Amino acid sequence: MAHYTATIVWERGDSEVFTDNRYSRGHSWSFDGGVSIRASSSPHVVPRYSDPAGVDPEEAFVASLSSCHMMSFLYLAAKRGLVVNRYDDTAEGAMEKNASGHFWVSRVTLRPRIAWEGDVPERSVVDALHHQAHEECFIANSVRTEVRCEPHD
């Protein structure tokens, strides 16, 4: 069994009272490979106290699903002998309230564009690769969010 770690650090600023709920939501995420990322709440959620330059959890969630799908897709394409030169995805998440009135990311739409080496595979082959990539994506298998894939030609 594999284990994954992330270190999340937030500190109250000297002039922040905290109990008045007026404190910076900026914080950092650090990972085992040494990368640290500036993070914050989403400006859509806490506009005044968010750091718009930071990655928010909602964006990270969308990126995580997109990245996992891409890595599964690339693996499957290589296994079939298909050469991918470039893969880019402008993924989008939608947040709404559930039946209990709680917000959740209900849907993530992936919009991958793929540049192939040589002949472009038939659409049915590409669609099958995306379907299988979704089935094999560890992150998609871990969430209840609907993940749609709308590849570009």
Digit-coded pLDDT (tens) for 112-139: 999 999 999 999 999 999 999 999 999 9
The percentage of the chain sitting over the pLDDT mark of 70, rounded to a whole number, equals: 100
Q: Are residues 126 and 82 in the same domain?
A: yes
Helices (H) and strands (E) in the chain, counts: 2, 8
pLDDT > 90? residue 152: no
Q: How far apart are CA 2 and CA 114, in angstroms?
A: 30
Q: Are residues 127 and 98 in the same domain?
A: yes
Q: What is the pTM of this model?
A: 0.93
Could you give the number of structural domains in the chain? 2
Digit-coded pLDDT (tens) for 60-78: 999 999 999 999 999 999 9
Residue 1 inside a domain? The answer is no
The percentage of the chain sitting over the pLDDT mark of 90, rounded to a whole number, equals: 97
Q: Are residues 82 and 144 in the same domain?
A: yes
Q: Are residues 77 and 104 in the same domain?
A: yes
Q: Are residues 96 and 117 in the same domain?
A: yes
Domain that holds residue 28: 6-49
